[in-house]
Homo-oligomer: A and B are copies of this chain.
């Protein structure tokens, strides 16, 4: 006899957004897809943050249910499954960018201060590049010569 957990939240946008994204992993998965071009279960597993496989599976399901990602099976190789961001998912880029700038400014992170200032002053250009890469249908990671261009 398990009662469903009550969810007495207001309909304010921030509240509704946090209902989906308000945990430690969901936005991180979206970031990995967006700027590192991760597409498979395996890639997320080894992303350096060591998410448990059951949690990862759960989050991928929830993100799919929320319409943020889609799950696709490779027709030629049925073993291979790939996840892809939807437009709704790509639209999280501004949230991630602001979170990045805030963290880099106020927390101890690996990002160089100078790089952050540059990013903060070029928000629009960065977001344009992310959108362009994804709408071309070939979302390469935001890296140049094997190095992350941005310290996401």
> Footprint of B on A, CB under 8 Å?
8-25, 27-28, 31, 47-50, 67, 88, 91-92, 94-111, 116, 151-152
Contacts A14-B152, A16-B103, A17-B102 aside, 9 further interface pairs with beta carbons under 8 A come to A10-B110, A12-B109, A15-B49, A16-B108, A17-B107, A23-B24, A91-B102, A95-B102, A97-B98
- For A22, give its contact among B20, B23, B95 (CB under 8 Å): B23
| Interface of chain A: mostly helix, strand, loop or mixed | helix
Least Cβ–Cβ distance between A12 and chain B, in angstroms: 6
How many of these chains are in the complex? 2
Q: How far is the CB of A48 from chain B (nearest CB, A)?
A: 5
**Does B24 contact A107, Cβ atoms closer than 8 Å?**
no
Inside 8 A of A101's CB, which chain B residues have their CB?
Answer: 13, 94
Could you list 7 examples of A-B contacts with CB < 8 Å? Answer: A10-B49, A12-B109, A13-B103, A14-B31, A15-B49, A23-B23, A23-B24
Name the contact of A151 in the complex, choosing from B13, B94, B110 (C-beta under 8 A): B13
Which of chain B's residues have a CB closer than 8 A to the CB of A109?
A: 11-13, 16
